[in-house]
Structure 1
Amino acid sequence: MYCATLTRRNPFHDSIRETVRAEPRALSEADIDALARVMDTFGVAVLRNVVPAAVLAQMRDFIENEMRQNGQGSGLAGSDWVSASPLAALGCSPAFHDILLALWERAMQRLAPDVEVAASLRVLGGTVRLRHPWRFHYDSCVVTALIPLPGRDRPDEPYGVVLDPGWRPVRRRSSATTPENAVVNHPLVRPIWRTPTVRDRLSPHVIPVHPGNIYFFRGMQSLHGHPPRLPERVRSIALFHFGDPHAASFLKRLSARYLQPNLRRKNSAP
């Protein structure tokens, strides 16, 4: 996880260290089995009220500062933003890492790799967020943990996540998944997701997600996106991904080198 970076001063983390921490309790094997069964049955499983209200309030300040610096839409990836944020304790939590690892092993039916959790923060507001509803994709990693973060105006208002747990098989090679992902998110395909037929089919899978909870799903196998919100609402989510089976492939290394650095630029474009 990101424990090594916590030696640097983090004013958000220091202010809440003695009172509340954003991390789940350690789960027993039976608890994790139950969590995995819910994922297998419904596509998503939830741990409720993990992130305390004090940490959520700190995250609102963190996000507003990010928007002041980088505009209406931004994306952060890697360990630095986690260790500098109020979610630092979660990024360093052995219990959280163990939950992701155990869910990966139950999904893949083999021992998990010795890898870190990949974290990202997505903030969409104003005109930028109008381009993103009904834009779907698959994740690169097997297990995804999603944490919705509150907005300033209505901090308790839930978001919606559209999840279609079709259980796409985990491909043995990235040469199979890369074309699939490219087709799903191609500009010529995106309008199809907005058609009434497709939206009617996916609407039963719109899942309300509430700030403070952690939602787990198989991001690599489940097509997912989000429905629109009101234009004045800011949509902010923290994502933690575990276990990319194609991380060592040439295509994946090429993507990490050339595509990920453009995340902030593409999100913040007017």
Structure 2
Amino acid sequence: MPYSTFSDAQVASLIKAIDSDGYAVLPGWASPAQLKELQTLVTDTVAAAGNDYVALSGRQPVQGSPLYDWGSSRDFIDLCRRITEGATGQRSSDVTLTQTLRCLTGNGGRRESLIFHYDSFVLTTIMPVCMPVSGERGDLLMLPNRRRLRHSYLRNLVDKVLVDNKWVQKYLKNRFAMDDKAFTRIAMQPGHMYLFWGYRSLHTNLPVAEDALRATAVFHYHNVHGSSSLASRLRKSLGTMNGRDVHEDVPQT
């Protein structure tokens, strides 16, 4: 990670880019050597999963790799905190990142694509590890900054329910098919870090060819409703997450 400290002006510039363009980019986040190491990790992980979709949640499954180090990096966490605080005016008490290595390939990869959703975390950062060079690349797709931060978890839940149903999902897919210019489409490059307001932006990834591979390291910061008692009760009642609702538990980006 070549980035250590950021000036206030640099943080402000990142916030401005996310607000105006929908996202910001930190080029060359991973060195060529780190990227090669991570690509080997992805190849081995996908092979162990039968060459189908697989997601590794948390730091432990990626122990010994740069992803493990970045997940606890004080510099990275501090950057996320300053960006979030600068954008919202709220000082987050979060001292950790929620992370997942998400690998799309095979039939499972197609099933896990084109699912529009909002995050529960203010800031979403994505670093592509592997991306197809042609055909169906799995580009990041979004309608940026569509909602405000909700004061209550219940209002946030309503937002998600209104999106996470077959009718709205079909509408959004048809809208993209008819007017792709209405969406922000990002052809991400391996090794770059992309930042956007995951909580406020309706987003997904486009499909990936079954014989191709798209792998992304996803990091989230500042769960707006992390202390909500209602959210806690719902998580307990749901038991093991299926990866569809609060996608930060099993990210879908």
* TM-score with structure 2 setting the length: 0.85
Could you say which residue in structure 2 is the equivalent of 1:253? 232
Match of 2:68 among 63, 88, 104: 88
- Residue of structure 2 equivalent to 1:194: 173
Quick check: 1:176 aligned with 2:155?
Answer: yes
Matched, 1:53 2:32: yes
Task: Please give the per-residue CA displacement for 1:169-202, whole angstroms capped at 9, x wherever unaligned.
Answer: 110111111122123122343222221x343444
Aligned pairs for 1:97-176 (under 5 A) are 97-150=77-130, 159-176=138-155
CA-atom RMSD, angstroms?
Answer: 2.5
Work out the CA distance in 1 between the residues paired with 2:225 and 2:179. 31
Q: Which residue of 1 aligns with 2:3?
A: 24
The alignment status of 1:243 with 2:216, answered yes or no, reads no
In structure 1, the residue matched to 2:185 is: 206
Aligned mates of 1:120, 1:23 — CA distance in 2: 21
What amino acid is the match of 1:34? S
**Residue 36 (structure 1) aligns with:** 15
Tell me the distance in 2 between the aligned counterparts of 1:140 and 1:259.
18
Distance 1:82 1:140 in 2: 23
Deviation at 1:218? 0.5
**TM-aligned CA deviation for residue 259 of structure 1:** 5.7
Q: How much has 1:83 moved relative to structure 2?
A: 3.2
Deviation, structure 1 residue 67: 1.7
Q: TM-score, normalised by structure 1?
A: 0.80
> Equivalent residue of 2:128, what SS?
strand
Q: Distance in 1 between matches of 2:66 and 2:99?
A: 14
Number of residue-to-residue matches in the alignment: 241
SS of equivalent to 2:194: strand
Question: By how many angstroms is 1:37 displaced?
Answer: 0.9
- Match in the other structure for 1:229: 208
Question: 1:256, CA displacement in angstroms?
Answer: 4.5
The answer to whether the 8 A contact 1:135-1:193 is kept is: no
- Give the gaps of 5 or more residues in structure 2: 245-249
Moved over 4 A (4+): 254-257
SS in 1 for 2:108: helix
Decide whether the 8 Å contact of 2:137 with 2:214 is kept in 1.
no
Offset from partner CA, 1:132-188 (integer Å, 9 cap, x none): 33211111000111111125x759x97511121134011011111112212312234
Partner amino acid for 1:40? Answer: D
CA distance in 2, matches of 1:55, 1:262: 31
Q: Specify the SS of the correspondent of 1:76.
A: strand
- What are the ranges of 5 or more consecutive residues in structure 1 without an aligned counterpart? 1-21
Are residues 200 and 207 of structure 1, via their aligned partners in 2, closer, same or farther at CA, if it must alter by over 3 Å?
Answer: farther
Which of 38, 53, 75 is matched with 1:73 structurally?
53
